[in-house]
């Protein structure tokens, strides 16, 4: 009797599992992920050929005995952007009929620049339980080694493939102060870096992460200008899976005096400390800069 049969026998409710898989090094597969993939009735994946190699490595069967006979049914189902509209209702129906389903991507955590949103959304709409089986994520792995501020960050994913669309999106992002995380295809990496440097400026800090957890892993921290040269001069850096972690725009401390009217109004009702905190939330300027400017304004007011 399989784990799935035992769960059914025990009256456990079938559900949808979102299972993270390694982005390179197979030793990053978690014991819980292996257990879940062995137990479910169906594993939905982007590419059955890619996923079968992973499953074979951990002795996870891709076929399963039918409950009422000795015949076998396919456990591995293709699920990608081109068939999701057809496969989603089928998978939800399977879960509603008591068969748990796991969703995996080719590598990493599903739904992070990968298919799956439609299935998870449908599961919630149908009242189906959704449970994450956590593990590797290229974006978070890159952020952890980037040496850039990690208290605030935005995951942007892939930039548009064409230069005009890419530059337009970068213009919208250039003044963002949080760390930005991008994925990029190897054949576009040079063009994307040149657009980043053109819009963000040559001196913007960036960490280039390539083939994380794999044999030829690269983690290179530099400026955008230096990184362009690094990538152009080494064809190997134009291959594999690439994550760019880019520093946010620097906030100018001297912007505080641009909000004197607001600060003076806040001082009428609040202490300097509370006024600085509220003004920081409103303007996005650093609280310490606003605090110092408030003290200056308060001093000027006292002198008068």
Q: Architecture of domain 139-246 in CATH?
A: 2-Layer Sandwich (3.30)
User: 179 pairs with which residues across the strands?
Assistant: 153
Tell me: pLDDT of 293 over 90. Answer: no
Q: With bands split at pLDDT 50, 70 and 90, how would you rate the model's confidence at 5?
A: very low
Q: What pLDDT is attached to residue 254?
A: 46
**Residue-range domain boundaries for the chain:** 3-136, 139-246, 253-303
Mean pLDDT is lowest, of 43-57, 122-136, 281-295, for 281-295
Helix, strand, coil percentages, rounded to 5, for the chain? 45, 20, 35
Mean pLDDT is lowest, of 8-22, 228-242, 251-265, for 251-265
Q: Which of 36, 47, 48, 43 is nearest to 12 (CA)?
A: 36
Q: Architecture of domain 3-136 in CATH?
A: 3-Layer(aba) Sandwich (3.40)
Element (H, E) at 53: helix 48-57
Select, from the ranges 106-115, 188-197, 289-298, the one with the highest average predicted confidence (pLDDT). 188-197
Could you report the per-residue pLDDT of 64-111, keeping only the tens digit for each?
766 555 556 789 999 999 999 999 999 999 999 999 999 999 999 999
Element (H, E) at 207: strand 205-210
Q: With bands split at pLDDT 50, 70 and 90, how would you rate the model's confidence at 253?
A: very low
Could you report the per-residue pLDDT of 119-169, keeping only the tens digit for each?
999 999 999 999 999 999 999 999 999 999 999 999 999 999 999 999 999
Select, from the ranges 148-152, 194-198, 249-253, 255-259, the one with the highest average predicted confidence (pLDDT). 194-198
Q: From CA 280, how far away is CA 220, in angstroms rounded?
A: 34
In the predicted model, what is the mean pLDDT of residues 231-243? 97
Question: Whole-structure pTM over 0.75, yes or no?
Answer: yes
Q: What pLDDT is attached to residue 68?
A: 54
């Amino acid at each position: 009797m399989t784990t799935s049969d035992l769960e059914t026998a025990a009256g456990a409710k079938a559900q949808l599992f979102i299972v993270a898989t390694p982005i390179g090094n197979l030793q990053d597969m978690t014991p819980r992920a292996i257990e879940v993939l062995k137990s479910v009735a169906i594993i939905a994946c982007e590419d059955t050929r890619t996923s079968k190699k992973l499953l074979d490595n951990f002795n996870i069967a891709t076929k399963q005995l039918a409950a009422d006979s000795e015949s076998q049914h396919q456990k591995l189902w293709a699920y990608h952007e081109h068939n999701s509209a057809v496969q989603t209702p089928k998978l939800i129906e399977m879960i509603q009929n008591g068969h748990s389903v796991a969703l995996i991507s080719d590598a990493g955590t599903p739904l992070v620049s990968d298919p799956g949103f439609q299935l998870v959304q449908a599961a919630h709409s149908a009242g189906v339980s959704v449970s994450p089986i956590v593990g590797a994520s290229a974006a978070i792995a890159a952020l952890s080694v980037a040496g850039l501020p990690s208290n605030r960050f935005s995951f942007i994913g892939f930039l548009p493939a064409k230069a005009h669309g890419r530059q337009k999106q970068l213009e919208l992002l250039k003044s963002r102060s949080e760390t930005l995380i991008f994925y990029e295809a190897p054949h576009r990496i040079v063009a994307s870096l040149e657009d980043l440097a053109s819009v963000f400026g040559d001196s913007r800090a960036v960490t280039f992460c390539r083939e994380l957890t794999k044999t030829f892993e690269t983690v290179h921290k530099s400026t955008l200008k230096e990184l362009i040269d690094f990538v152009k001069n080494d064809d190997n850096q134009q291959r594999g899976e690439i994550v760019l972690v880019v520093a946010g725009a620097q906030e100018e401390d001297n912007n505080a005096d641009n909000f004197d009217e607001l600060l003076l109004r806040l001082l009428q009702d609040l202490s300097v400390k509370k006024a600085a905190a509220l003004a920081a939330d409103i303007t996005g300027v650093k609280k310490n800069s606003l605090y110092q400017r408030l003290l200056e304004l308060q001093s000027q007011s006292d002198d008068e």
